[in-house]
Amino acid sequence: MASKPPADAVREAEELRAELRRHNHLYHVEARPEIGDAEYDRMFRRLQTLEAEHPELASADSPTQRVGAPPQDAFETVEHVAPLLSLDSSEKPEDVARFDERVRKALGEGVEPVYILEPKLDGASIELVYVDGVLARAVTRGDGRRGEGVTENIRTIRSVPLRLRTDVRPAPAVLSLRGEVLMYIPDFADFNQSLIESGREPYASPRNSAAGAIRQLDSRVTASRKLDVLVFDVLAVEGASFATDTDGVQAIRDWGFRVPERIETASSVDEICAYHAAYESERDELDYEIDGVVIKLDDLAARRAMGATSHHPRWALAYKFAPRQEITVIEKIDVQVGRTGVLTPVAWLRPVVVGGVTVARASLHNREELKRKDLREHDTVRIQRAGDVIPQVVEVVEPGEDRSPPFEMPSVCPVCGTEVHEDGPRLVCPNRFGCAAQLKGRLVHFGSRRALDIEGLGEETANLLVERGLVHRLAELYDLEPEQLTELDGFAEKSATALVEAIRSTRKPDLRRFLIALGIPEVGVTVARTLAERFGSFAAIRDATPEALTEVDGIGPRMSEAITGFFADERNTEAIDALLSRGVEPQTVDVPDEELPDLGTVVFTGTIPVARVVAETAWRRVGGKTSGSVSKKTAFVVAGENAGSKLEKAERLGVEVLGFEDFRARLAEHGGSLEEA
C-alpha cells in the first residue's frame, strides 16, 4: 500500500489549490488580478512539486491539470444530459413582433412577458457537466443530442472552473451548462499570422479556429491556444432549482463562470429592438464575434409548457444582424448535384474576406434566382454572408467587359446524364439511388448519427467507395468485405474490419432510424417517430395510402403525397428491395391498443395563476384539447379574473364554466398535474 502523505503536505496542497483557483478566477473571469505572474507561477510550481513527491495528492480538479494530457486516439461519442437545440432566427423586426405575440398568447391575457436578452456569440458550443461540483465531462454540440467528449481539452481553458465555487451557493449534485468557446479577434489574428509564417494554412474565422482547437487529439495543443469560455444557460440541474433564467444566470456567476456581457431583461418589442440596435452599432468595436442577439422567455415553467419543435425551442428567437457585404468578381459558374438530386448553380469567386471569413464560392440557388439577378461569369458583384454564415451573391455591381452570355442550366444531370425534371424553381435529377453525386451524399446520410449511426462512414469514405466502384447502389454497402477496403487510402486491416462490422451490425435497425436513413422527402426525426409509433412496421408504412397518412397528426396532404410518391417510384422500390434482400429488417414497434380518452375542448379566459400555456399543456396531456374560441362543442370554460367576452358567450351558449381551482381538481381527477406541464 502507498504511504499516506504527511498532514502538512496535505494541508499545504489544499491551501495552494484554493489560492490558485481564487487567483485564476480573479484573472480570467473578473479581470482584476491581485498578484503578478511571478507569484502565481511560484505557487503553481510548488503545488506541482508536492503532487510529484506525493502522487496521492493529485486530483482531477487540481490547477496543475490544465497543462494538457498525452494525445488521444479518438474522441468518444457522448450523450448530452439535455439537448442543445438550435434557435429559430430572423433579421426582421416584424418577426420579433410575431414571436412576442405568440408568447403573449401562450401566457394568456393579463400576463406581461419578461424576456432575457444576451449577445448571440459566434463560437463553438459546448456542454459542461459537473458532478458534486467537479468538472466531469465536456461535450461538443454535435447533432444536439450527442457530441464528442473533449474534456481533457476543455480542462486547459483557464476560465472554466475545474471545481465550482461554493462560497456563495452550494454545488448541486449534477449540473449541465451550455457555453460558447471563443477565440478573441486579436488572438485569432496573431494565431493566423503564426500559421502563415510557418507555411501552414490559416483558419477562415475565429469560430473555426475555436472549434478546431477543442477537437485537437493532443490537449497540449489546445492548451497552447488562447481560448475563453462564456457560459449562459443551465441545461439541467439536480439539487437546485430556478424559477427564471435570470436566477440561473446569477447562479452561473456565483459558481465561478464568465457570462456574456450586458445580459438584460425586456418586456416589449421596442426594448428588444433598442438592445439589438445598440449591440449592432458597436459590433465592429467588439473583440469577439457576435451575429445577433438572443431573446428568451425568462419564466422557466412557461418555457417548459411552450416546449420545442425537433429543431428549436418555441420560447426563444435569435434576432440576427444584417449580413456583412463585400465586392468581388464571379470567375466561373458551374452546376453541382446535391444529396437530394437538386441541381444548384454555384459561383466561384475571386476570394474575398467578409466579416473575418474568406469566401471563394457562393450558391446561386436555382435557375430563376440566376435569371432574376442576371448573374454572369466575370461580373463584379456584391456578396454577403447570410446569417454571417452562408455566402450569397446579392447583385451585379458592374457587368464584365464583353459580357458573357446568360448561363443556361443543363437539361440532363451533369453527373449521371439522367433527364432532369422541374420542381418549382429547381431542377432535380430523379435518379435518387443511382446518380453517383447523390449516392455519395446518401451513403453519408444513411450512416449519419440520426440515421443508422455507422461509425467510419463519413464523407471521405463515401466518396472513395463510389469513386473506386465498390458501391454502385446503396444496398452494396452490405456486400463489402474488409479486403476490398484495405486497398483504399487510409484503411488498414483493423479499420477496414471495423467499418464492415459497423455496417453489418445495422441489419436490424430501429424503424424510426431506418425511415430517416432512406431520405424520404418531408420525413425528419419527428415525422419518422410519428410514423413508426402509428403504423408499427415498415411494411405498413410502405403500403399506407394517402388517406391513412393524412389521418396522422402532423401529416398533411403535401407531406402524404411526398411519402407515397417516394414509395411508388420504381427506382426507389428497387433500391429498398435490394436492401431488404441483404437481410436488412427494420424492427417493428409496438402500437398501443388504447389511446388517451377524449376529454373535450377547454377554453381559458381572463387572468389565471399560471401561464396559460402551462394549463393548456396539462389538459392536453390527459387527453383533452384546447381552443381560443368558445362554441357549442366546448366542454367547459375556465374563467380567471377579468374574464371578458368568452365568458359571456359561454354563459349564452350554456357551456359549463369553472373557476381555476375547480379546473385544477378536474385535471387531478384524470391523473394530471400543473407541476408536470
| Span 25-35, pLDDT tens digits | 665 555 566 77
631: Cβ contacts below 8 Å, ≥ 6 apart: 653
Cα gap 170→256, rounded to integer Å? 12
Residues 124, 248, single domain; the answer is: yes
| CATH number of the domain to which 51 belongs | 1.10.287.610
For 25, residues 6+ apart whose C-beta sits below 8 A from its C-beta are 161, 165, 256
Please state the rounded mean pLDDT for residues 108-131. 93
Range of the domain at 305: 89-319
**Is 490's pLDDT higher than 80?**
no
Tens digit of each residue's pLDDT (9 = 90 or more) over 517-540: 998 988 887 788 888 888 889 999
Average pLDDT (120-142) is: 93
225 and 257 housed in the same domain? yes
Q: Which one is predicted more confidently, 100 or 453?
A: 100
Q: State the pLDDT confidence band at 1, using cuts at 50, 70 and 90.
A: very low
Q: Are 587 and 509 in contact (CB under 8 A)?
A: yes
Cell triple for residue 197? 509564417
**Grid cell at residue 88:** 429559430
Above 50 in pLDDT, residue 593?
no
Question: pLDDT at residue 356 above 70?
Answer: no
Instruction: Tell me what pLDDT residue 625 has.
Output: 83
231, with CB counted inside 10 A (0-12, 13-18, 19+), is buried
205: left (phi over 0), alpha (psi -120 to 50) or beta: beta
The C-alpha atoms of residue 27 and residue 662 are separated, in whole angstroms, by 56
266 and 148 in one domain?
yes
Q: Tens digits of per-residue pLDDT, 280-331?
A: 988 878 889 898 999 999 999 999 999 887 678 999 999 998 877 889 999 9
Residue 81 covered by a domain: no
387 shares a domain with 309: no
Cell numbers 396559460 label which residue?
612
CA dist., res. 463 & res. 451, Å (int): 19
3-state secondary structure 99-118: HHHHHHHHHCCCCCCCEEEE
Residue 551 confidence (pLDDT): 82
**pLDDT at 389 exceeding the cut of 70:** no
**CB contact at 8 A, 486 and 493:** yes
- Among residues 418, 451, 468, which one ends one of the domains? 418
Burial class (CB in 10 A: 0-12, 13-18, 19+), 98: middle
User: For the chain, what is the domain count?
Assistant: 6
546 plus 637 within the same structural domain: no
Whether residue 649 sits in one domain with residue 553 = no
Local structure of 605: helix, strand or coil: strand
Do the domain assignments include residue 205? Answer: yes
- What number is the average pLDDT over the span 49-70? 71
Question: Is the overall model pTM greater than 0.85, yes or no?
Answer: no
Dist. CA 516–CA 451, nearest whole Å? 5
Helices within 244-335 (DSSP H only): 245-254, 269-282, 300-306
Does residue 77 form part of some domain? Answer: no
Residues 134 and 225 in one domain: yes
State pLDDT tens for residues 549-564: 988 766 888 889 989 9
Q: Which of 174, 132, 129 is nearest to 155 (CA)?
A: 129
Note whether residue 72 is domain-resident.
no
248-271 burial: b if 16+ Cβ within 10 Å, else e:
bbbbbbebbbbbbeebeebeebee
> Checking DSSP bridges between strand 290-297 and strand 342-354, what pairing results, if any?
unpaired
Q: Are residues 122 and 205 in the same domain?
A: yes
Rg, Å, the chain Cα set = 29
Q: Phi and psi (nearest 5°) for 54?
A: -130, 80
pLDDT the model gives residue 609: 85
Residue 482 included in any domain:
yes
Mind listing the pLDDT tens digit for each residue in 210-237?
988 898 878 888 888 899 999 999 999 9
- Max Cα separation, the chain? 86
- Give the per-residue pLDDT at 613: 74
Are residue 373 and residue 281 in the same domain, yes or no? no
Among candidate residues 319, 345, 373, the one where a domain is terminated: 319
CB 639 within 8 A of CB 661: no
Last residue of a domain, one of 294, 319, 344: 319
Contacts of 578 (CB under 8 A, 6+ apart): 473, 474, 475
Q: pLDDT at position 212, please?
A: 87
Asked whether residue 302 falls in the same domain as residue 357, the answer is no
Residue 473 or 65, more confident: 473
Residues 355 and 336 in one domain: yes
Catalytic residues: 120
What is the CATH classification number for the domain harbouring 526?
1.10.150.20
Report d(CA 514, CA 531) in Å as an integer: 12
Q: How far is CA 510 from CA 443, 515, 585, 587, in A?
A: 18, 9, 9, 5
Determine the pLDDT at residue 410.
94
CB 17 within 8 A of CB 62: yes
596 found inside a domain: no
Of residues 481 and 392, more confidently modeled: 481
Residues with Cβ within 8 Å of residue 378, at least 6 apart in sequence = 329, 330, 331, 400, 401, 403, 404
Residue 289 lies in a domain: yes
Which of 54-63, 68-77, 363-372 is predicted with the least confidence, judged by mean pLDDT?
Answer: 68-77
For the chain, give the percent of residues with pLDDT over 90. 43
Instruction: Tell me if 35 is assigned to some domain.
Output: yes
